């Protein structure tokens, strides 16, 4: 009876109280309640990757495991909302799953094999030198050109995106609506999920060219070659600056978690 009473008390607590208790005792019962309350995040984020060559159940499972990982790492004392902390963790794990398991674009076999070598080289060099390796260091280690390394890095993001102009069924009517409109309808309700404040602050740390590259690559989903032509610079410069931006984003994120 006492255990039932304790469980009822947990269910009546808000998330902040539960996270404070869980950070101290790591009670599995509390963790299960937190998981159940935040599965909506898993559902929302996993659905964004439907029709990209992987079964939804597989994506949902990866996202669910990422949610558990986020719950374990979350520190409420740092002042961030859990949804803002968990979202990039879940999205990151889903994208990692795609990069590791899926090649829906027709990437040449040699590029796929080189991509694996580049990934292994990055891990080895990072451990050896305690810093992220440069393209030229990876190329020298593998014994290939810098252009080939850049090509393999570009290909590693080679899963087929869904066009925002594609249509989906509207649950409220028999008409079809564009995916862009459907996302826009949800955006306001789940604005906390999209960690906009963090990204807006991060953009202010970039110069004008870096902002153009960041928005072009990650908002407009343009290829490096397309951006290079638009900005009248080399693709290698785009790739170098993109890596710099990602590293800066990672550092800013780690500072804030």
pLDDT tens string 80-125: 788 888 899 899 888 888 776 655 445 566 777 888 888 888 888 8
DSSP sequence for 164-205 = TTSEEE-TTSSSEEEHHHHHHHHHTTTGGGGTHHHHHHHHTT
Q: State residue 183's pLDDT score.
A: 42
List the CATH code of the domain at 2-101: 1.20.120.1810
Q: State residue 154's pLDDT score.
A: 66
- Residues paired with residue 178 on neighbouring β-strands, in sequence order: 167
| Percentage of the chain modeled with pLDDT above 90 | 11
Q: State residue 15's pLDDT score.
A: 86
Tell which residue, 35, 181, 42, has the closest CA to residue 27: 35
Q: State residue 114's pLDDT score.
A: 84
Domain boundaries, the chain: 2-101, 195-257
DSSP sequence for 47-97 = HTTTTSSS-HHHHHHHHHHHHHHHHHH--GGG---HHHHHHHHHHHHHHHH
Name residues whose C-beta falls within 8 Å of residue 9's C-beta, 6 or more positions apart in sequence. none
Q: State residue 8's pLDDT score.
A: 60
Q: State residue 5's pLDDT score.
A: 41
Q: State residue 90's pLDDT score.
A: 92
Tell me if the domain spanning 195-257 has CATH number 3.40.50.10330: no
**Residues of the chain whose pLDDT is less than 70?**
1-8, 53, 100-109, 154-198, 253-257
Neighbours of 228 (CB within 10 A): 18
What is the radius of gyration, based on Cα positions, of the chain?
21
195-257: same fold as 2-101? no
Tell me the backbone φ, ψ of residue 177, rounded to 5 degrees: -125, 160
Expressed in angstroms, the distance from the first to the final Cα of the chain is: 39
HSE-up of residue 73 (Cα within 13 Å, Cβ side)? 16
Work out whether strand 167-169 and strand 176-178 pair parallel, antiparallel, or are unpaired.
antiparallel
């Amino acid at each position: 009876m006492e255990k039932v009473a304790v469980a009822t008390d947990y269910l009546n607590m808000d998330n902040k109280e539960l996270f404070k208790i869980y950070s101290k005792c790591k009670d599995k019962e509390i963790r299960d309640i937190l998981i159940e309350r935040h599965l909506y995040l898993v559902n929302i984020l996993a659905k964004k990757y439907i029709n990209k060559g992987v079964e939804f159940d597989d994506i949902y499972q990866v996202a669910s495991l990422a949610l558990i990982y986020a719950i374990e790492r979350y520190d409420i004392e740092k002042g961030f909302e859990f949804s803002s902390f968990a979202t990039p963790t879940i999205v990151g794990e889903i994208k990692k799953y795609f990069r590791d398991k899926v090649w829906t674009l027709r990437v040449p076999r040699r590029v796929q094999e080189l991509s694996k070598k580049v990934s292994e080289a990055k891990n080895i060099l990072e451990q050896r030198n305690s810093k992220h390796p440069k393209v030229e260091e990876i190329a020298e280690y593998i014994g290939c050109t810098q252009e080939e390394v850049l090509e393999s890095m570009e290909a590693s993001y080679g899963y087929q995106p869904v066009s925002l102009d594609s249509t989906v069924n509207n649950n409220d009517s028999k008409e079809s609506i564009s995916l862009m409109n459907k996302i826009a309808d949800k955006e306001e309700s789940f604005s906390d999920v999209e960690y906009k404040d963090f990204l807006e602050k991060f953009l202010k740390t970039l110069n004008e060219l870096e902002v153009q590259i960041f928005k072009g690559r990650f908002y407009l989903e343009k290829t490096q070659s397309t951006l290079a032509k638009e900005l009248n610079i080399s693709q290698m410069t785009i790739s170098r600056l993109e890596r710099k931006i990602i590293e800066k984003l990672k550092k800013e994120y780690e500072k804030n978690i």
